[in-house]
Amino acid sequence: MKTRAWCATLQKKWKIERILVLSTDLDNIAIFCRPEFKGIFMMGNSVCVKNNVVVPKNKTNTDAGAKMMYELIHVGGLASNIGPSWSAFVNLLTLAKNDFQSSVHKISTDRMLRGFWHLRRQSKYIDASRLLTDRAYYARFIGACNSKLIMKRQAKIPTIAPSKVDAHLKRALWIRQYW
């Protein structure tokens, strides 16, 4: 949260438009995925680039003249690129594995993101507030994420006690308010 406070101060008080956060903490994606943080970039992982194309990191490519460089992720621009459903995207990240919890249904962040994008391509937008407060709505989202349409292999959804699901959703809501 110190990073967020610094960025807000630099943008509002010092009028700095572009800020590079030298951190690869994935929670920063959710923290800065808001329209007011446009111009915030995060340093990502190192990648291997040869002839302006990202190639696998291995000895063969580095010996053949490929250069190592860091990805830059425009985390502040995600909200405008995602559009009106940016809040649902952030809520999804609170349900996935993060610094505070992991998915109660053992569903990967990758599968949740694929579910989000699949539903969006189908023009089915997720109600951001219901995703964190309505157990039945959350269950439908998890069911959609585990379908064969999302990934080649359909996942088996474990049976979780309603009290554990409610606790998971309450923690996710707290995380969302904290972020």
Give the CA count within 13 Å in the CB-facing half-sphere of 115: 25
Asked whether residue 6 falls in the same domain as residue 54, the answer is: yes
Q: Which residue has the tokens 């030298």?
A: 22
A 10 A CB-CB count for 173 gives 17
Asked whether residue 125 falls in the same domain as residue 137, the answer is: yes
Asked whether residue 19 falls in the same domain as residue 44, the answer is: yes
pLDDT of 157 reads 85
Q: Return d(Cα 79, Cα 134) in angstroms, integer.
A: 24
Query: What mean pLDDT do residues 1-5 have?
Result: 87
Our count of domains for the chain comes to 2
Cα 166–169–172 angle (5° rounding)?
150
Q: Per-residue pLDDT tens for 80-116?
A: 999 999 999 999 999 999 888 999 999 889 999 999 9
Asked whether residue 88 falls in the same domain as residue 54, the answer is: no
Asked whether residue 100 falls in the same domain as residue 130, the answer is: yes
Asked whether residue 10 falls in the same domain as residue 62, the answer is: yes
Cβ 116 vs Cβ 92: under 8 Å: yes
Asked whether residue 168 falls in the same domain as residue 127, the answer is: yes
DSSP state of 84: G
Q: One-letter amino acid identity for 134?
A: D
Number of residues assigned to the chain: 179
Q: Return d(Cα 132, Cα 101) in angstroms, integer.
A: 14
Asked whether residue 168 falls in the same domain as residue 98, the answer is: yes
Asked whether residue 96 falls in the same domain as residue 74, the answer is: no
* pLDDT over threshold 70, residue 62: yes
Q: Return d(Cα 18, Cα 99) in angstroms, integer.
A: 26
- Of the chain, the end-to-end C-alpha distance in Å amounts to 7
Asked whether residue 68 falls in the same domain as residue 90, the answer is: no
Helix axes 162-178, 135-145, angle to 10 degrees: 90
DSSP letters, 105-144, are T---HHHHHHHHHHHHHTT----HHHHHH-HHHHHHHHHH
Asked whether residue 66 falls in the same domain as residue 91, the answer is: no
From 80, 113, 146, give the residue that closes a domain: 80
pLDDT of 138 reads 96
From 80, 107, 136, give the residue that closes a domain: 80
Q: Return d(Cα 78, Cα 68) in angstroms, integer.
A: 25
Q: Per-residue pLDDT tens for 28-56?
A: 888 999 999 999 999 888 889 999 999 88
Q: Per-residue pLDDT tens for 136-153?
A: 999 999 999 988 888 778
Asked whether residue 59 falls in the same domain as residue 138, the answer is: no
pLDDT of 24 reads 67
Domain extent at residue 110: 84-178
Distances from the Cα of 138 to the Cαs of 85, 135, 165, in angstroms?
Answer: 16, 5, 9
